Structure 1
Amino acid sequence: MMLPEDDHDLGFVNDLPRMLGRRGMLTMMGGVGLTAIAADPAAALDCVALPWETAGPYPADGSNTRRGQTVNALTQSGVIRSDLRPSFGGMSVVADGVRLDLELVLQSSEGCTPLVGHAIYIWHCDTTGLYSLYDVPEANWLRGVGLSDAEGKVHFTSIFPGCYDGRWPHIHFEIFESAEAAVSGAASLLTAQIALPEADCAAVYAQDARYSNGTRNLGRITLARDNVFSDNTDAELAQQMLAMSGDPVAGYRGTVTIPVGFTADRNTAGGPPPPGGFLGRWLRGGPRE
């Protein structure tokens, strides 16, 4: 199935000024050129640069294909957004699940200072482990880009991710210097993943029937055996673990600080993709990432 394309769709670059307005654009552009605002002394704790991780087989960032066609959500109009549950850019399917409000704080690991005006692209699976544009080609839900404010904060509303066989529950992300860098195909400053706490995952999967395979799959995996998180230090795992409050009925709020090490090793444990790409590995029985 061919993914929809509109000749008049100017995508990410067109969304940016429309969303922020002239004053917002000037503020963001000026903020990027200024020295980062000093962190609150009460919050000036040591921060651990997150390790680079694989983007997995379903990034939809222009780096891979589905059935021979490049998959790139970043060029679609509407990708800059805060509510990730609906589809965008001409698609109408909506993802359903336990509500999850996210606050992501982007920092430089040097001094734990906020990264202002940076773009973060996040994506994750639905309640049963499916990814839009790949497993569900008629949808692009649970994907989106946000821009960090003067405190380095980005907010999204999404759903609690499910747990598919072979992977610990997680959220993927890529950080870029700017919105323009993301849409141009520039290399990310950091590609990594956020882990979800076991107790909250167990509660959601046990109490909500929409997560029909979650309890079973969670029981088959641990952080220590996960093919992405298993080689991280305790400090790195603590840094990339989402701190959560809430419950399966009212929904959850999750926060995490993401320190970027600009001189970090960009090699990932997953190594280069096998012949046929990440999707080919999955079709041959390899792990989904």
Structure 2
Amino acid sequence: MPDHDDHGPEGLAADLPHLVRRRVLVSGLALGAGALSLWVTRGGAATVTGTGPDGAVCVVPPEETAGPFPADGTNVRAGQTVNILTEAGVIREDIRGSIGGLTPVADGVPVALEITLVDVRRACAPLGGLAVYAWQCDAEGVYSIYGAEDRNYLRGVGISDDRGRVRFTTVFPACYPGRWPHIHFEVFSSAEMAVSGKAALLTSQFAFPEAECRAVYAANPLYAGSVRTIERVSLGRDTVFRDSSDIELAAQTLVLTGDAVGGYVATGRVGVVV
């Protein structure tokens, strides 16, 4: 995949007129005590929460590392900046295929991922028009571009709708040595800001629940390596998730419905400070 150093007529910039909705302005909210953010001290850090009109709490997940494989313009590979966000077609729902002239498609147990973005300072009101860049490893624990230069799958940008929802069709990730199964994401104020990969409102990660991980790895031979690896790691000892408070970890863990054969629907809600 060729790297791009500008934001010319190619790539994401070319997609914007066709794919980006105007940001939805949420108005007429009854802002009372339930809309106030709550700061809970945690070892010198803080957990930011909000409360919706129905009493449900929304949480800003802790800032987490983007890891060594973001391909968002913030790091280099073989001396060159790696940035898939400038590729035409990166704004998409199904991230299982490669783009930019590459053809490999990720195989694995299907996952329909739905991320809902909400404003913790406005009673957990949905945030439309924001951009989410999501990326993950494949069923063998490999990150495209870095571990396999002939593919750039399992990476994509989605734009939140007027209910704050961003949807991706992906596959269940492997469990590779040293990490609990997870998916990375960055939230940007707009698709235009996502082009740079350097101005995210939030960089964090979602964890997959243990029961579903074990079910997938036991049922599908594509995940044979994960059967052994997951025995050597745990969510509580994971280098990223172990520092999260209980309320943060609950918010960072996806809720799954479905099964290891037909696939899953995975949902998560992300509180954002805008």
Provide TM-score, normalisation by structure 2.
0.86
**1:17 to partner: Cα distance:** 1.6
Contact 2:12 2:91 survives alignment (8 Å): yes
**1:185 to partner: Cα distance:** 4.0
Contact 2:85 2:196 survives alignment (8 Å): no
Q: 1:61-100 to 2 correspondence within 5 Å?
A: 61-100=72-111
C-alpha distance in structure 1 between counterparts of 2:174 and 2:27, whole Å: 40
Contact 1:50 1:261 survives alignment (8 Å): no
**1:40 to partner: Cα distance:** 7.8
Residue 282 of structure 1 is matched in structure 2 by: none
Letter of the structure 2 residue corresponding to residue 240 of structure 1: Q
Contact 1:197 1:241 survives alignment (8 Å): yes
3-state DSSP of counterpart to 2:85: helix
Residue 4 of structure 1 is matched in structure 2 by: 2
What's the RMSD between the two structures over aligned residues?
2.0
Q: Does 1:105 align with 2:103?
A: no
Alpha-carbon distance change, 116 to 36 in structure 1, aligned in 2, over 3 angstroms: farther
Q: Does 1:217 align with 2:215?
A: no
3-state DSSP of counterpart to 2:223: coil
C-alpha distance in structure 2 between counterparts of 1:243 and 1:142, whole Å: 20
Contact 1:37 1:114 survives alignment (8 Å): no
Residue 153 of structure 1 is matched in structure 2 by: 165
C-alpha distance in structure 2 between counterparts of 1:48 and 1:36, whole Å: 22
For structure 1, list consecutive stretches of 5 or more residues without a partner in the other structure.
263-289
Provide TM-score, normalisation by structure 1.
0.82
3-state DSSP of counterpart to 2:161: coil
Contact 1:36 1:113 survives alignment (8 Å): no
Residue 285 of structure 1 is matched in structure 2 by: none
Residue 61 of structure 2 is matched in structure 1 by: 50
Letter of the structure 1 residue corresponding to residue 172 of structure 2: F
C-alpha distance in structure 2 between counterparts of 1:40 and 1:188, whole Å: 24
Write 1 or 2 for the structure with the bigger share of strand. Answer: 2
Residue 13 of structure 1 is matched in structure 2 by: 13
3-state DSSP of counterpart to 2:18: helix
C-alpha distance in structure 2 between counterparts of 1:218 and 1:199, whole Å: 11
C-alpha distance in structure 1 between counterparts of 2:12 and 2:166, whole Å: 17
Contact 2:52 2:124 survives alignment (8 Å): no
Aligned pairs, number: 251
For structure 2, list consecutive stretches of 5 or more residues without a partner in the other structure.
31-50
Instruction: Extract structure 1 runs of 4+ deviating beyond 6 A.
Output: 6-9, 36-40
The percent of aligned pairs where both chains have the same amino acid is: 51
Letter of the structure 1 residue corresponding to residue 119 of structure 2: S
Residue 283 of structure 1 is matched in structure 2 by: none
**1:105 to partner: Cα distance:** 0.2
C-alpha distance in structure 1 between counterparts of 2:198 and 2:272, whole Å: 16
Contact 1:82 1:146 survives alignment (8 Å): yes
Q: Does 1:141 align with 2:153?
A: yes
Residue 180 of structure 2 is matched in structure 1 by: 168
Q: Structure 1, residues 92-150: CA drift from partner, whole Å, max 9, x if none?
A: 11000000001100112222111110000000000121000100111010000000011
